Homo-oligomer: A and B are copies of this chain.
Amino acid sequence: MTKKYTVTPWEVSGEIDYAKLIREFGVKPLDDKIIARIEKHTKDLHYFLKRKIFFAHTYFDTILEQVEKGNKFYLYTGRAPSGPVHLGHLIPWMFCKWLQDKFNATLLFQIPDEEKFLFNENLTLEDTKKWADENILDIIAVGFDPKKTKIFLDTEYAKTMYKHACRVSKKITFSTVKTTFGFTDSFNLGQIFYTSMQSVPAFLPTILEGKTTYCLIPCAIDQQPHFFLTNDVAPKLGYPKTATILSRFLPGLQGMHQEGKMSSSVEQTTIWTTDTPEKVRNKIMKYAFSGGRETVEQHRKLGGNPDIDVSYQYLTYFLEDSNKLKQIYEDYKSGKMLTGELKEITIAVINKFLKEHQARREKAKNIVEKFMLRD
């Protein structure tokens, strides 16, 4: 029996069984107990937590311990720049912003431009630099505090990064990356080295400030294998283990069972942050996989299936109002709400979201330098 899905930092495909993935990866579910412990500090809960869009973690309890001792922690996340930003990319960043606001946390935002260059035959470093510049506008548009957020490209911050990546790399053999990532002898030398660069920001404030500082990484679960290696190395270098808080993937418009997560390589079923309202409407109307029945009559009689309906799934990611969401769920399931009506709601929610995002993205152009970290 072959596995029905693949989740690695370079490939996510198939219909993912998240409960199974938790066991396979050996991460922990974000259970009610730990969510209650978060709420004690944040007073309210982000709907990503309530809806288990962030659903798993490693060592998140050690971060809460630090908070409970009155210590600061910092956030680290990233974006590999191989194309424009789509809605799926924004999910961990939006959650990062919430954590930054709630915990007054500094954020290190890595742009591993060399990663995409090394893993994609057709990209040059000029291409990845161009996409990095574009992507940074989307990152800033999420609303991070410029006083507490540092964004850097690996190639522009390499004087700081490379030597610490060497320190990490000395503790990881090729055997280990073979096992962790499935690499073979025909991988290139940069691909093999790269995971060392992804580890460094997890240690950087401890290195630069000269005192132990805990790190929390909000990211999609495909990135977790890197941080297993980070945590193999951490104690050997005298650093605390890094914590991760892990999200599901936003499906592509055709649904997870058809095309996996929303993907930069599938133009027409992906909603980009720069899409016009008309484009969003057309894409959702044309491509969003529907949980509706074949005819209006059947739908009214038997009801739709919101659990497989992509428009509904998107509302779970972008509609904050949980009462409204619940009502939509019930109305669609009972057959009271038709697919067309559901799609209209989703189009309105996403276009409102994107209108605000695009306005902030435009303003971001004037404040990029406030965020950038370079050697």
Q: Is the CB of A186 within 8 A of B193?
A: no
Q: Is the CB of A173 within 8 A of B185?
A: yes
**Given known contacts A158-B162, A166-B117, is B188 in contact with A173 (CB within 8 Å)?**
yes
Q: With an 8 A cutoff between CB atoms, is A293 at the interface? A: no
Q: With an 8 A cutoff between CB atoms, is A174 at the interface? A: yes
Closest chain B residue, CB of each to CB of A124: B167
Q: With an 8 A cutoff between CB atoms, is A175 at the interface? A: yes
Q: With an 8 A cutoff between CB atoms, is A190 at the interface? A: yes
What distance in Å separates the Cβ of A164 from its nearest Cβ neighbour in chain B?
9
Q: Is the CB of A188 within 8 A of B172?
A: yes
Q: With an 8 A cutoff between CB atoms, is A1 at the interface? A: no
Closest chain B residue, CB of each to CB of A229: B189
Q: Is the CB of A125 within 8 A of B169?
A: no
Q: With an 8 A cutoff between CB atoms, is A178 at the interface? A: yes
What distance in Å separates the Cβ of A374 from its nearest Cβ neighbour in chain B?
8
**Given known contacts A162-B158, A163-B125, A193-B192, is B170 in contact with A174 (CB within 8 Å)?**
no
Within 8 A of B (CB), among A150-208: 154-159, 161-163, 165-167, 169-175, 177-178, 183-193, 195-196
Q: With an 8 A cutoff between CB atoms, is A118 at the interface? A: yes
How many monomers of this protein are in the complex?
A: 2
- Bound Cα distance from A175 to B156, whole angstroms: 30
Closest chain B residue, CB of each to CB of A196: B189
Q: With an 8 A cutoff between CB atoms, is A114 at the interface? A: yes
Q: With an 8 A cutoff between CB atoms, is A321 at the interface? A: no
- Bound Cα distance from A162 to B125, whole angstroms: 12
- Bound Cα distance from A177 to B187, whole angstroms: 11
What distance in Å separates the Cβ of A226 from its nearest Cβ neighbour in chain B?
12
What distance in Å separates the Cβ of A113 from its nearest Cβ neighbour in chain B?
8
Could you say which residues of chain B place their CB within 8 Å of the CB of A158? 158-159, 161-163
Q: Is the CB of A156 within 8 A of B155?
A: no
Q: With an 8 A cutoff between CB atoms, is A294 at the interface? A: no
Closest chain B residue, CB of each to CB of A123: B170
Could you say which residues of chain B place their CB within 8 Å of the CB of A195? 189
- Bound Cα distance from A125 to B249, whole angstroms: 40
Q: Is the CB of B169 within 8 A of A190?
A: yes
A and B contact pairs by CB, cutoff 8 A, 15 listed: A117-B167, A118-B166, A118-B170, A125-B166, A158-B158, A158-B163, A166-B190, A170-B190, A173-B188, A173-B189, A174-B189, A175-B185, A189-B192, A189-B195, A190-B196
Sample of 10 further A-B pairs with CB below 8 A, known A117-B170, A155-B166, A159-B375: A114-B162, A155-B159, A155-B162, A158-B161, A158-B162, A169-B193, A170-B190, A172-B188, A175-B185, A175-B186
